[in-house]
Every structure is written in C-alpha cells, then in structure tokens.
Amino acid sequence: MPTIQLADATIALDDAGEGAPVLLLHGFPSTRRLWSSVAPPLVEAGHRVIVPDLVGYGESTAPTGVRVDMQSQAGWMLRLLDALGIERATVVAHDVGSAAGQIMLASAPERVRGLAVLDGVYCGEWAMDAVASIQAWNPADAHRLAPVLARRLGKGGAVREMLQAYEGEQGGLKLIRAARDLDPRQTEGIGQALRTSAAPALVLWGERDSFLPIETVGRPLAALLDAALVVLPGGHFTPLDCPAEVAAALRGFLARLPARR
C-alpha cells in the first residue's frame, strides 16, 4: 500500500496509469474502495488516477487532536498533489468529499483543471441528519459501528469492502471522529468563488438518492457550477450502484476538457 507522509498526516492511496491526473475523493463513511470499479476504466482511457483515503478515513491517519474536517482535507489534498509532483488535476468527488473538492477549486482554482461532483453537497446542505447518530455514538461501543452501518446501507460485498477499514474498536473510533468533525459551514460562503473559477464542471446524481435529493441539492449545485446535470440509475452511492455509467460519464467529461496549459 503506497503512502505519502506529510508533516501532520499519513495518506494511503492508489496511484495508477499515466496521462492527465485525476484525483478521486470519497465521502463519509466511505474509503477509497468506493472507486474500485470506476478507477480502472479511467486508467484505460489514458489518465493517471490518484485515489486516496481522506485523512482520518480508511487507512489514512492524523495525530490525535488534529481536525479531519473538509477544509483541512482540501489542504491535505493540495499538498498530496505537491508531493506527487502534480501541478493541476481534475477533481472527482462524492458526498462530503465534494466539499473538499469545492474548497480546493475556490481556494486554488489554478490547481483544478475540472470538477466532477457525484451526489455531493451544496452550500450548507450536507445531509447531517444521516450522520447525527454516528456523531452521538458512544465511543465505548465503537466496535459495533461498522456492522451497523453495513446493515443500514445494505449493498452487500461492495459496502463491506468499502467499510472494512472501520471494523473493530479503532475503526469505529475513526468514524466517530470523522463524523464529529464534519462542518457544513465550510461551504456556505464559497459560492461566489466557485462561480468565478470558470473551471469546467459536471454533476452526476443517483435518481434514487435519499440522502441528498436531486431537486434541492443536485440542481442548485449544477446551476452554481454552470454544469450539466446527469441523472444516473442508482441511489446515493453511484460509484457502487452503477459504476459503468459513472465511468462512462467521467470519461466523456475528461475527454472534453481543454488541453492542459
């Protein structure tokens, strides 16, 4: 397992392929395994595909006391690109990972060649009601959290693989910490910066997303980013529900991006 060591974090990642870099960001409570069936077609299309676990998620770590919120994730992901010698990348982000992607674009537009959001967040709409029970979870029962989540999500082996890093007491504590550090205020004030970034964007949404509804989150986000909105045959976890459709839409988007400067 490749890792990148930063001063305040260790980032586990998969890094495959050659060509224009694409950074795939998962959300909560996911890991980089969310992209297991999407990354290979992008590599086959001629892209270098970087798939990290966000810091404090999966196999990536940060010292106790360091917040693993999405503002911090954006900074870590930019530093990850630095460590890999990448000046600009297309960012593809799911769920609250899209908050990190949006913050990257708003704060460092010169580093983001394009932004694709899958079932992501908009302004202060982060589906925090779905996270509240994990935020309130008793740390003494942390070992019970991953099995409960797997049953809630109910998607079989793909979800079990995605959540494997959260099994046991330490994995459960990692999830509780990550949930408690989520802060929707971090994307409430970046709308104007996103409007003026001029980065090409794409918004993909599962037609059955019950966490972040397409009408109240997906369409306003697409309008904010001046992006096409593509509805896919899945629920919230589109990279697991319909990976072929996700990969095809992303390959088309990447092929249409302007040549690298």
Give the Cα separation of 174 and 178 in Å (integer).
6
Q: What is the pLDDT confidence band of residue 161, given thresholds at 50, 70 and 90?
A: confident
Mean of all residue pLDDT scores within the chain? 95
The stretch 64-85 carries a mean pLDDT of 97
- The pLDDT of residue 179 is 98
pLDDT above 90: percentage of residues in the chain: 91
pTM to 2 decimal places: 0.97
- The pLDDT of residue 260 is 57
What single letter denotes the amino acid at residue 27? G
- The pLDDT of residue 1 is 67
111-133 pLDDT per residue, tens: 999 999 999 999 999 999 999 99
What single letter denotes the amino acid at residue 205? W
188-240 pLDDT per residue, tens: 999 999 999 989 999 999 999 999 999 999 999 999 999 999 999 999 999 99
Model confidence at 261: pLDDT above 60: no
- Residue that has been written with the tokens 């991006």 in this structure: 257
Model confidence at 246: pLDDT above 80: yes
Contact 117, 221 (CB under 8 A): yes
The stretch 245-259 carries a mean pLDDT of 95
The domain spans of the chain are: 3-126+186-256
- The pLDDT of residue 152 is 86
Q: What is the pLDDT confidence band of residue 98, given thresholds at 50, 70 and 90?
A: very high
The C-alpha angle with vertex 259 and arms to 82 and 200, in degrees rounded to 5, equals: 80
Identify the CATH number of the domain defined by range 3-126+186-256: 3.40.50.1820
Q: What are phi and psi of 202, to 5 degrees?
A: -140, 140
Q: What is the pLDDT confidence band of residue 259, given thresholds at 50, 70 and 90?
A: confident
Q: How long, in residues, is the chain?
A: 261
CB under 8 Å to 55, separation ≥6 — which residues? Answer: 9, 11, 61, 62, 68, 72, 73, 76
